[in-house]
C-alpha cells in the first residue's frame, strides 16, 4: 500500500514503530506522518509511519503533536505542497512474522543477552518481591520478532548510525540478527569494563592491606625495642 504523507525530518534522532513521541511541529489536519531520520542533509531511506494521537498547545502558544509509531515506510518520490511543506510517497513495510526455528533461536538468544546487560548495569534485576525487573519482564513479554528487535532502538548506547541501520533492515530475521550482534558487542564492552573495575578495586584493597600490615609490624617492632 502506498500513501502520500507529510514528511517530518528528525535530526540525528530515530523513532521506531511502537514508540510514542511528542514533537513541537504543526501537523495541520494530518492523521499520519512519516518520521524520517536525518543527519545534516542526508535522509534515511526508511522512516516510521506515525499516527497523530493528540494535538497540544505548548507554553507560548506553539503547537505540538503526540505521535504513535505504527510501522516502517519506504520513502519514494517527494514533492513540495502549495503551503511549502514536504510530502512524500510512502510504501508501507509491515513486518512479516517468521515462525522458523532460526528466528525463535535468535529471540531466545536476544532476550538472554539483554537480561545479562541489565544485570551488569544493575537494572532490571529482581524486584522487591523477588520477581523479574520491569525492563526484563517487558522484553520477555514481546512475542513478535520484529518488535523484539526494535527494542534495541531504546538503548542509549547505540549510535545514530546503528539505529538507522536497524530501522532500514526490513527483513525481520536479519533485523533480529543485527540487534543481537549490537547487543552482544555492548555486553562484551560492559564485561571488559567490569573486569577492569574489579581488578582496580582488588589491587587497591591489596595495597591497603599491605599498608596496614606494614604499620602493624612497625608498631610491634617499636614495642619490642
* Residue 29 DSSP label: T
Q: What is the pLDDT of residues 125-153, one digit of tens each?
A: 444 333 347 888 888 899 999 999 999 99
CB-based contact 16:167 (threshold 8 Å): yes
Q: Is residue 207 part of a domain?
A: no
Q: Residue 168 has what pLDDT?
A: 97
Q: 218 in a domain, yes or no? A: no
pLDDT tens-digit series, residues 37-57: 999 989 999 999 999 999 988
48, 106: one domain: no
pLDDT beneath 70: ranges in the chain? 123-132, 197-199, 201-206, 225
**Rounded to 5°, angle at Cα 49 from 45 and 51:** 160
Residue 6 sits in the same domain as residue 87: yes
- 208 assigned to some structural domain: no
Contact 25, 57 (CB under 8 A): no
> Cα(96)–Cα(107) distance, rounded to whole angstroms?
15
Residue 221 lies in a domain: no
SS3 assignment, position 147: helix
The reported pLDDT for the residue numbered 131 is: 36
Query: Would you say 92 and 1 are in contact if contact means Cβ atoms under 8 Å apart?
Result: yes
Instruction: Give the Cα separation of 34 and 77 in Å (integer).
Output: 13
User: What pLDDT is recorded for position 124?
Assistant: 43
Domain containing 180 — which CATH number? 1.20.58.1480
Domain containing 69 — which CATH number?
Answer: 2.30.130.40
- Residue 10, domain extent: 2-92
Neighbouring CB atoms inside 10 A of 145's CB total 23
- Which three-class secondary structure state does DSSP give residue 40? coil
State pTM to two decimals: 0.78
- Residue 214 maps to a domain: no
Amino acid at each position: 500500500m502506498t500513501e502520500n504523507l507529510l514528511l517530518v525530518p528528525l535530526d540525528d534522532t530515530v523513532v521506531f514503530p511502537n514508540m510514542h513521541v511528542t514533537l513541537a511541529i504543526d501537523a495541520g489536519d494530518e492523521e499520519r506522518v512519516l518520521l524520517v531520520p536525518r543527519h545534516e542533509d542526508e535522509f534515511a531511506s526508511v522512516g516510521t509511519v506515525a499516527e497523530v494521537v493528540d494535538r497540544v498547545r505548548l507554553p507560548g502558544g506553539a503547537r505540538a503533536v503526540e505521535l504513535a509509531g505504527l510501522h516502517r515506510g519506504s520513502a519514494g518520490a517527494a514533492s513540495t505542497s502549495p503551503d511549502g511543506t514536504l510530502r512524500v510517497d510512502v510504501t508501507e513495510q509491515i513486518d512479516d512474522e517468521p515462525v522458523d526455528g532460526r528466528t525463535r533461536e535468535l529471540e531466545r538468544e536476544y532476550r538472554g543477552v539483554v537480561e545479562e546487560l541489565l544485570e551488569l548495569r544493575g537494572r532490571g534485576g529482581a524486584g522487591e518481591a523477588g520477581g523479574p525487573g520491569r525492563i526484563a519482564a517487558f522484553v520477555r513479554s514481546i512475542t513478535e520478532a520484529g518488535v523484539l528487535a526494535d527494542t534495541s532502538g531504546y538503548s542509549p548506547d547505540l549510535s545514530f548510525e546503528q539505529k538507522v541501520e536497524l530501522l532500514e533492515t526490513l527483513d525481520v530475521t536479519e533485523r533480529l540478527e543485527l540487534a543481537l550482534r549490537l547487543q552482544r558487542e555492548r555486553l562484551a564492552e560492559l564485561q571488559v569494563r567490569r573486569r577492569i573495575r574489579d581488578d582496580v578495586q582488588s589491587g587497591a584493597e591489596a595495597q591497603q592491606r599491605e599498608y596496614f600490615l606494614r604499620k602493624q609490624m612497625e608498631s610491634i617492632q617499636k614495642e619490642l625495642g
